Amino acid sequence: MDSFVFAAVLFAAACHAGWNAAIKIGSDTVSATVLIAVGAGLIGIAVLPFVGLPLAAAWPWIAASVLVHLFYFIGLSEAYRVGDLGRVYPLARGSAPLMTAALSVPLVGEALGPAGWAGILALASGIFLIAAPATRTQARLDAHATGFALFTAITICAYSLVDGIGARLAGSAKAYAACLFIANGIVLAAYAAIRLRGKALAAMAPYWASGLAGGALQFISYAIVIWAMTVAPIALVAALRETSVLFGAALAVVLLKEPLRPTRIAAAVIIVSGLLLIRLR
């Protein structure tokens, strides 16, 4: 993978971990999630005059992505409502690249090669190790959160493939990203109005600062990923993006006071090994 693309996706991964932490910091994860999506949509509106509209061929993919993202945000917010960031986040993100890699070969026709597959497997293994519960009791208590996390992983796989293909048809990754975020913001705002029964503004008010900051991070993060999927294999970009678990684990320890276990340190070593394999592919 090209060095610039590699570094850009790593930066996107750090931003991704940041907005996920912004969701978990607030007690109302639904309001925080929606506010972040709305913030990203506002940025999309601001940049749209400068990037233009995507080609017509991309619009069905944008519509499909918006639908998948709705279920993604629902699953993510519910997972964070009942589980710890340090467990939910890596479990959701670790399953997704394996699914994406398995489907990108027959659907997109991308050849990953031995080093690419080895890198993806190493990344996923390290991510799962981070997600491993410390005790059997914790594993039982996290069953509900685990279900939501795995559901979220399926949606991540789906929107990665949809957006990778759609951005390649759009003529401009920037235009595709802007329109996607605008549509996502509108749909999530409508979801909040229905879910919170007319109390959406009052519910989101306490989180406006972290929500808008998270929205900026979300826009930057995924816009970079969408662009990267137009110049590199979708499966590799999707897997590399999941290194955000390293940043997420650090934020969970520092900001949320979740425990730092030796398994997380070992997992970091495995993830870095996967990074090297993907970089050298």
| pLDDT tens per residue, range 69-102 | 999 888 877 776 766 666 676 777 788 888 898 8
Cα torsion 144, 131, 68, 70: sign: positive
Cα(84)–Cα(23) distance, rounded to whole angstroms?
12
Instruction: Output 273 or 258, whichever has higher pLDDT.
Output: 273
Radius of gyration of the chain (CA): 18
Cα(235)–Cα(110) distance, rounded to whole angstroms?
8
Residue 47: per-residue pLDDT? 95
What is the token pair recorded at 65?
A: 């992505």
Q: Which of 29-43, 101-115, 121-135 has the lowest mean pLDDT?
A: 121-135
Going by pLDDT thresholds of 50, 70 and 90, the confidence category of residue 61 is: very high
Q: pTM (2 decimals)?
A: 0.84
Note whether 128 and 87 are within 8 A (CB): no
Residue 274: per-residue pLDDT? 83
What is the signed CA dihedral for 127, 263, 73, 12, rounded to 10 degrees?
-60
What count of other Cβ atoms lies within 10 Å of the Cβ of residue 134? 12
Going by pLDDT thresholds of 50, 70 and 90, the confidence category of residue 55 is: very high
What count of other Cβ atoms lies within 10 Å of the Cβ of residue 102? 13
Average pLDDT over residues 221-239: 93
What is the token pair recorded at 94?
A: 């670790």
What count of other Cβ atoms lies within 10 Å of the Cβ of residue 259? 10
What is the token pair recorded at 227?
A: 């662009």
Residues with Cβ within 8 Å of 21's Cβ and at least 6 positions away in sequence, in order, are: 85, 248, 251, 252, 255, 256
